[in-house]
Structure 1
């Protein structure tokens, strides 16, 4: 049994990752909502917030932990600054690899504006390696629904955006944020890819 320490910036992601936890893994959860809220207030990830994220990740690399997983795409670049004795991974890095490995057109849906550029950067790296064409989209109205506590409406809006992207010819649709995972079940056409299952599998393999 391997232990994966998860750092979340949204409280609801604990249940999302527990539901996606693969056999052979046990999860611990740490919530740091301040990191995402401060990034939103600043209009994006700053060096100071990235450094705070790195320190928070390093603090989770305690004895008995086999890997640390950052589940927030907005503060994702902070993972690269963390120095730990165990692998420190971004959940969206595994998603980017999974979504782009088949080439073709990949549409990446983002709910919050602050995650667009970090998401574009990490998906562009994977798309370049795998010969995929990238289309990163912000889903209008999604984050407002999330912040208002309308989780059902949030997932419905994202699912509809996924259906549109597939209808337009996308080979794959990826959901940039773990909080969007509930949209998978609501999509009427081909299912979009969510980060928790692939991210946890990557952490387990690491």
Structure 2
């Protein structure tokens, strides 16, 4: 049986080892192809949204990913996740938003859903995706959001301690109000494991692990 190829489109090369390690841990036996372009997230932040011009650049990368003879493609940044919808009609290979399995699991686990993000440009697309998933399954939900101001800037300069502390504080503020918490960016995933035992009693979901679990079921 031929090994399959999974192409990952990132807005930060720092996510490459995260997904390499997850695939090993979950025994997802695929060849990985990484395409990283940090100018995408830079421009989304500067513009405050995913503009038509940036969308076209994302679509260019997705087309390039398909040209690598990938069997499956995943976009690992929630801020550019909406590009997946636009890509469906252009690509012949299946494509996944990294936060799609996350949204499905969040809606399954609770009616009051908390979303924590370090970028405002991630809060809106993540919340919209969760709402669409709830509508799809006919479930009424409410969403509470927490923006970790300054955390993303700290992440960019390598101050992970400041970044992680801001995310942990946001999780602990939000936890009493909701049934489940969603960490909206893949770069936040490791923070959940840093919480002290008993600090938060509700599920905390992050996209990388759930996305790789899903891919393991279809590849």
Question: TM-score over 0.5 for the alignment?
Answer: yes
How far has the Cα of 1:19 moved from its partner? 2.2
Distance 1:112 1:25 in 2: 33
Counterpart-to-counterpart distance in 2, 1:79 and 1:173? 24
Of 179, 183, 186, the residue aligned with 1:175 is 183
**What are the residue-to-residue correspondences of 1:34-183 with 2, within 5 Å?**
34-62=39-67, 64-82=69-87, 83-128=90-135, 129=137, 130-166=139-175, 168-183=176-191
Distance 2:69 2:153 in 1: 39
- Quote the residue 1:198 is aligned against: 210
Task: Note closer, same or farther for the CA distance 1:43–1:169 as it changes in structure 2 (3 Å cut).
Answer: closer
Q: Tell whether the 8 Å contact from 2:22 to 2:209 is kept in structure 1 after alignment.
A: yes
Does residue 1:24 correspond to 2:35, yes or no?
no
2:193 aligned with 1:185 = yes
> Where does the alignment leave 5 or more consecutive residues of structure 2 unmatched?
none
**C-alpha deviation, 1:64, in angstroms:** 4.2
Cα contact 2:146–2:170 (8 A) shared by 1: no
Cα drift, residue 88 of structure 1:
1.0
Q: Residue deviations 1:179-201, cap 9 Å, x none? A: 11121111233452110011122
Q: Which of these residues, 7, 10, 15, is aligned with residue 9 of structure 2?
A: 7
Displacement of 1:145 in angstroms is: 1.4
Between 184-193 and 93-102, report the one with greater CA deviation.
Answer: 184-193
- Equivalent residue of 2:192, what SS? helix
- Cα distance between partner residues in 1 of 2:216 and 2:70: 11
Unaligned runs of 5+ in 1: none
Alpha-carbon shift at residue 158 of structure 1 (Å): 0.8
CA RMSD of aligned residues (A): 1.8
Rg (Cα) greater in structure: 2
